[in-house]
A and B are shown apart, each in its own frame.
Chain A
Amino acid sequence: MARIILRDIAKTFGTTPILNGVSLDIEPGEFLTLVGPSGCGKSTLLRILSGLEEPTSGTVEIDGKDVTKTRPSLRNLAMVFQSYALYPHLTVAENMLTPLKMRDLDRMERLPLVGPLLSRSKRRDLMDQVSATANTLRISDLLSRKPGQLSGGQRQRVALGRAMVRRPVAFLMDEPLSNLDAALRVHMRAELSALHKMLNTTFVYVTHDQAEALTMSSRIAVMMGGDLLQVGTSDQVYSQPTNLKVAEFIGSPKINILPGEVGKTGTLTVFGQEVGVSCVTHGPVSVGIRSEHLALTSPQQAVFSGTETYRENLGSDVFVHVAVSDGQHRVVLRLSPAQASSIRSGDAIHIAMDPAHVLVFDKHENRSSATLARSHEVPA
């Protein structure tokens, strides 16, 4: 378990800035996910943390020690790569043995012919560690195979095993699931979470898939354009995004964004209708509301209405895509199959917004506080 502190990490390649001063505290034993669209600098941040890349400025601390200039292998971190990066010419056992050999045997003991003679008991000990790890990951029967003979999921496990054998202070994972097929990916998510619980070690996980981030992490750090936008639990990032970009990136289907206006008295109106929310800002705002917080209602109570353009049936839920009658906006409603079947195509759909879940963003895309207007307050 290690506390990792990144301070003002900046990185430029040539003249292109990749990271603009990112600071992040990673708690011991937490599963922190760096999530963001491709090119946002999340992989670069992970590589700086691992020591494979040097930051242009800023410091990396692991357990209170400044390791900014320390070689990757001496930081005692383990990394799992997207392509698994197994040595193709070595068997699974040798692959897993390599980091141990490099750490525990000296130069003489690593020599090809003399080495095994000099360090028999040590090597037996290392091999025991490998087989113990292989047992935990249920890959003991693969130990004598070469990576070329393994399936994607098996390679994934071997890569995890190679990371696990050295008992690192933290695991770094760079999109480790993105080469797997959809079913296996969902399965491996659960396994990774279980592994995290079992090992009780710090995990730093990089992904562009917000679903992976939401399902596995204890905390999520959302990055965009080289900046850290928000750090928080899955719930916080999903329901209390501090920034319009975060709100748009997290969640599937994408959050609905509608134009709104805050009047002099602080009442929020969307398409000229009062929503039941008071704001401190004034003027035009962006109003975000998730698909599950939109509901069908009567024409009198509707904030806006529109017609169905498309529906996605997921079995348990139906996502109904609606073209708003102003002709410019589209929203997605999450309905139960029963509700959805009551809508006939071509019908006008009247939609209400749940004022408790309305998110208001000012013109700088920052979240501005919104409170329920008096008339909508739930009686205590």
Chain B
Amino acid sequence: MTDTPVTLPTSTFQFSATEAAKHVVLILGALIVLLPFYVMVSYTLKTPVEIMSGSGGLFGTQTPFTDAFCLKAGGTDVECTKSALAYNFGSAFKKAPLLRYLLNGVAVTAAIFLIQVVVALPCAYALAKLRFWGRDAVFSLVLFCLLIPVHAIALPLFIMLAKLGLTNSYAALIVPWTISVFGIFLMRQFFMTVPDDLIDAARMDGMSEFSIIWQVMLPTAIPALMAFAIFSVVAHWNDYFWPRIVITGDKSLFTPPLGLREFRAGLDGNDFGPMMATACVIVTPLIICFLLAQRRFIEGITLTGMK
């Protein structure tokens, strides 16, 4: 046994007004951000009557109700009586081909992201690591392009696509986004931090410049690429503006956000329950992706073992 006196654990809790104030502000901010999500989730659990009357609390009463449209369409009482959850999600998938929209969304965002990477990595590598005449001028152009809002060039882009006969196609959804100035900028900034020695070592090993990009720079840039993926995927998965412009007729090309329009106000009033169910279905993949990427993020930052 040691002779050192045993100190009894004392309570370390101390009330601090500034700490409390900080937490109050943060909690308020979190509530404001979470409120729309709360409404969204809550509505998917409620019957149309509960939504309209604002009753039922967070989860609704969960009493089965009878769908009037279903009865009109000739269903029996038993067939048309169901829980709010089943009704909302059921009509979300039945009334609009939501699965098709989700697949479109996945295909479009994945294609955009892949092509963006294929374009941005070599550009960023050249801007960060190669010496050529006019490099700085090119980089200032990249920075300048960051300042141009998409909406300013939407009309010329649309006209170009229309002249090429590409509206109402996957190409119209993908092609305008394939060169991401933001991606080039972000990856260039990351590549600047990669030591030149690593590239020289790869050159000594006999790699071509393209092999260096894909076999050396790409794996070391995973953390930066993840950050870029989050920005790119979120932006194009949630994009309502551009698909709304270039997809004018063909519903089979709709992306998920366009799918929400199926439930907007019509003659029979707003159908908020299924609409919110659709919204839930649209945001879930994003939230899952983000949580997965967040873990990779932290791993990626600790991966850099150069020195």
A contact residues vs B (CB 8 Å cutoff): 47, 50, 52, 72-74, 77-79, 81-90, 98-99, 102-103, 146-149, 162, 179
How many whole Å from A252's CB to the nearest CB in chain B?
A: 27
Given contacts A77-B204, A103-B206, A148 and B303 within 8 Å (CB-CB): yes
How many whole Å from B45's CB to the nearest CB in chain A?
A: 46
User: For the complex, is B197 an interface residue (Cβ under 8 Å from A)?
Assistant: yes
User: For the complex, is B164 an interface residue (Cβ under 8 Å from A)?
Assistant: no
A344 to B156, CA, bound (A): 91
| Complex partner residue of B306 from A47, A72, A83, CB under 8 angstroms | A83
B contact residues vs A (CB 8 Å cutoff): 195, 197-198, 200-207, 211, 216, 219-220, 222, 302-307
How many whole Å from B164's CB to the nearest CB in chain A?
A: 35
Is the Cβ of A79 less than 8 Å from the Cβ of B200?
yes
- Nearest residue (CB) in B for A47 is B200
A52 to B201, CA, bound (A): 10
Is the Cβ of B197 less than 8 Å from the Cβ of A82?
yes
Is the Cβ of A73 less than 8 Å from the Cβ of B204?
yes
A83 to B216, CA, bound (A): 16
Given contacts A73-B206, A79-B204, A102-B205, A89 and B197 within 8 Å (CB-CB): no
| Complex partner residue of B200 from A85, A102, A147, CB under 8 angstroms | A85
Given contacts A82-B197, A88-B220, A72 and B305 within 8 Å (CB-CB): no
- Nearest residue (CB) in B for A75 is B204
With A50-B204, A74-B206, A88-B304 already in contact, 17 other A-B pairs whose C-beta atoms are closer than 8 Å: A52-B204, A72-B203, A72-B204, A73-B206, A77-B204, A79-B200, A83-B198, A84-B197, A85-B198, A85-B306, A88-B219, A88-B303, A89-B222, A89-B303, A102-B207, A149-B305, A162-B205
A123 to B203, CA, bound (A): 21
Given contacts A79-B200, A83-B197, A87-B198, A146 and B305 within 8 Å (CB-CB): yes
How many whole Å from B297's CB to the nearest CB in chain A?
A: 16
CB<8 Å pairs between A and B, sample of 5: A79-B200, A83-B307, A88-B220, A89-B222, A89-B303
With a CB–CB cut-off of 8 A, which chain A residues contact B197? 81-85
How many whole Å from B244's CB to the nearest CB in chain A?
A: 40
Interface-central residue, A74, A88, A148, A149, by most chain B CB under 10 Å: A88
A102 to B307, CA, bound (A): 25
Is the Cβ of A89 less than 8 Å from the Cβ of B220?
yes
With a CB–CB cut-off of 8 A, which chain B residues contact A72? 203-204, 206
Question: Would you list the 9 A-B pairs with minimal beta carbon distance, nearest first?
Answer: A148-B305, A73-B206, A102-B206, A89-B219, A85-B201, A85-B197, A99-B205, A81-B197, A85-B198
With a CB–CB cut-off of 8 A, which chain A residues contact B303? 88-89, 148
A90 to B218, CA, bound (A): 12
With a CB–CB cut-off of 8 A, which chain A residues contact B206? 72-74, 99, 102-103
With a CB–CB cut-off of 8 A, which chain A residues contact B302? 148
With a CB–CB cut-off of 8 A, which chain A residues contact B307? 83, 179
Is the Cβ of A52 less than 8 Å from the Cβ of B220?
no
With a CB–CB cut-off of 8 A, which chain A residues contact B195? 83, 85
With a CB–CB cut-off of 8 A, which chain B residues contact A85? 195, 197-198, 200-201, 306
With a CB–CB cut-off of 8 A, which chain B residues contact A146? 305
With a CB–CB cut-off of 8 A, which chain B residues contact A84? 197
With a CB–CB cut-off of 8 A, which chain B residues contact A88? 219-220, 303-306
A149 to B303, CA, bound (A): 10
Is the Cβ of B216 less than 8 Å from the Cβ of A87?
yes
With a CB–CB cut-off of 8 A, which chain B residues contact A83? 195, 197-198, 306-307
A103 to B211, CA, bound (A): 13
How many whole Å from B213's CB to the nearest CB in chain A?
A: 14
With a CB–CB cut-off of 8 A, which chain B residues contact A179? 307
A52 to B197, CA, bound (A): 10
- Nearest residue (CB) in B for A52 is B200
Is the Cβ of A147 less than 8 Å from the Cβ of B305?
yes
A242 to B249, CA, bound (A): 87
- Nearest residue (CB) in A for B203 is A72
With a CB–CB cut-off of 8 A, which chain B residues contact A78? 204
With a CB–CB cut-off of 8 A, which chain B residues contact A73? 203-207
A84 to B304, CA, bound (A): 14
How many whole Å from A15's CB to the nearest CB in chain B?
A: 16
A98 to B219, CA, bound (A): 15
A162 to B200, CA, bound (A): 14
